[in-house]
Structure 1
Amino acid sequence: MMTEEYYSKQHEGRIYMLINQPSTITFDYAYCEKIIKHHSKSFYYAFSGLPKEKARAVYAIYAFCRIADDCVDENKKIDEQLTALDQLANELYLFSKGEEINHPLWRALRDVFNRFDMDIQPFYEQLTGQRMDIHFMMPANLSSLEVYSKYVAGSVGKMLLPIIASESQKNLHHVAENLGIAMQLTNILRDVGEDYRDKGRIYLPLEEMKRYSYHEVLLSEGSITQGFINLWEYLATRAEYLYDNFTQHIDEFDKDSRFPVLSSAYIYQGILNSVRKSGYDCFNQKNYVSAVEMAKLVARASM
């Protein structure tokens, strides 16, 4: 079972540390907000525009996903990763039974579940996605890559749905899931070099790599061949299709949530154009949306 002491030991020196902090719901949400501000400024920038109650719910969900991600990223050995993830899974099980531990994350999430018509299943799907990362296998094709993306990112879209589409009479699960998949594909296309260099992972699907005559030796050299560009664009086109599909349904989301959600989609989609502007260099630099471009994308979302 995880305790506050466990979190402090696991994340010593980072924003997760808890030392004699007051157990109030304001503090609990502030804890979650610090996590999203630290790890995803663009995500925070977009969703901080939600009404307070909804914004805080998003922060809590993000904090859960970040901690789940850290179970893998903060531990180097597989057995340590699995142990950390098993502990978090046990925490989630206790939460599902109404027996959560006394920790800011779980107290905040309990408040979220009390306020919104939440579904616990996507939280379990997120943990399944993390296990897929631990037992990583290079995706055979685009279809298998999207299955992986569905668990690690599509699940997040479904977690957020009761908050940003609380008034909708339509089933938007597939729409929210597709937005998550589009964002995960974007992450993969942005981090090709970093994933290979730092994690030894190739998320580019094998079937498509063969189709465009691109292989691991070229990737290890950071070679930006025409084949790589064609492969990259093939996956980017799929992501952009999913983004476009999402925007076609934006009017079905809550009125007070449309602008922040659309902003986040536009900002993330903008990463693809940033990579294009860099000459498809996702090996030697971190591509991101500039502050000026971000402002333009946010303005576009407000139209």
Structure 2
Amino acid sequence: MESQLSATLKACEHMIREGSTTFYKAFSFLQSPRKEAVYVIYAFCRMIDDAVDEPESSPYSLEELAHHFTQLEKADGHFIWPALRWLLERFPVTKEPFFRQMEGQRLDYELTHYDTMEQLETYSYLVAGTVGEMLLPVLHDAPDKHVIASGIWLGKGMQIVNIVRDVGEDQAKGRRYIPLDLLTKHGYTEAMWQKNIINDSWRNVIQELTALAHAWFARGLIDVSQYPRTSSFCVELSARMYEAILEDVAAHGYDVYNRRAYVSTLGKMAIMNQLTLKHGLSVLQLKSNASSAVS
């Protein structure tokens, strides 16, 4: 039984290691079983996302995922189901945020071009703020309403980074998440967006989104010291590495049409070293956590 659980959790770890080096690096320093729980959450969220974005290679449709998740105690045929049963038994995680995330992903079927910032914020909550709600019972022993609110802001801030970074990829899928009212505010037309034009108007659009993301990150990290120390470090590490993507966007002239912004390995190491000192953690302790596993 233990070997089956270990294999199941390893499969989830493989998904986050392959899908997001930033999140894998940040949360691998958690002690077990917290880090394995993060891997399970990531793996299921990845499957929800892939069901919409890559349906031809996804093992389930979004409706099939919702059906199996609703009847989780009976679900089989994929490692994610025993992994989720373990997660919900081990931590006070509820199903509601996962269903809200599915609701957000369904929007991609019907809303491909956003008109208002309000629409964007709603979407950011549904697909990313909910991840904060999923993670909090794993990362924090007793989160209050303020800590929960901060976790949601952090997820929303990360989604703004996703939207800025992925402009070109989303355009290829026929999607424009940057709202028309923001484009219009800065004199940037939809025709310009279709032609990948980078001018002062475009730079002003991305700079405003960057400022919004920074503001949401600030709100998201305001209560980070209330987490257990290692969780606090991992949460801030993931946030700062993600936020640094925006610096790379600016450094390359806000061209998010033709290149995908990223943070170099050296950049990530610099952020990690800074935060190790800030949170009073030793490299030895972090390495020990990274090598631990559920027993």
Answer yes or no: same fold by TM over 0.5: yes
Report the RMSD for the aligned CA atoms in angstroms.
1.8
2:121 alignment partner, SS class: helix
Q: Which runs of structure 1 show a deviation greater than 4 angstroms over 4 or more consecutive aligned residues?
A: none
Higher relative contact order (CA 8 A, sep 6+): 2
Trace 1:93-172 onto structure 2 (pairs within 5 A): 93-95=70-72, 98-101=73-76, 103-172=78-147
Maintained 8 Å contact 2:129/2:151: yes
Return closer, same or farther for 1:280/1:126 CA change in 2, 3 Å cut-off.
Answer: same
Give the counterpart letter for 2:4 in structure 1: T
Q: Deviations over 1:176-206 (max 9, x none)?
A: 111111011101111112211x201111111
- How far the C-alpha of 1:99 sits from its partner, in A, is 2.9
- How far the C-alpha of 1:170 sits from its partner, in A, is 4.7
Return closer, same or farther for 1:231/1:103 CA change in 2, 3 Å cut-off.
Answer: same
Maintained 8 Å contact 1:161/1:176: yes
Give the counterpart letter for 2:161 in structure 1: T
Quick one: distance in 2 between partners of 1:212 and 1:180? 26
Q: Deviations over 1:5-35 (max 9, x none)?
A: xxxxxxxxxxxxxxxxx97000000110111
1:210 alignment counterpart: 184
- 2:228 pairs with 254, 271, 286, which one? 254
Aligned residues: 275
Give the counterpart letter for 1:284 in structure 2: N
Q: Deviations over 1:77-135 (max 9, x none)?
A: xxx99x8111110011001xx33325321111111111111111001011101101122
Q: Which runs of 5+ in 2 are unaligned?
A: 279-295
Quick one: distance in 2 between partners of 1:120 and 1:37? 24
- Between the two proteins, what is the percent identity of the paired residues? 35
2:283 alignment counterpart: none
2:76 alignment partner, SS class: coil
Maintained 8 Å contact 2:113/2:177: yes
Give the counterpart letter for 1:90 in structure 2: H
1:32 alignment partner, SS class: helix
- TM-score, normalised with respect to structure 2: 0.89
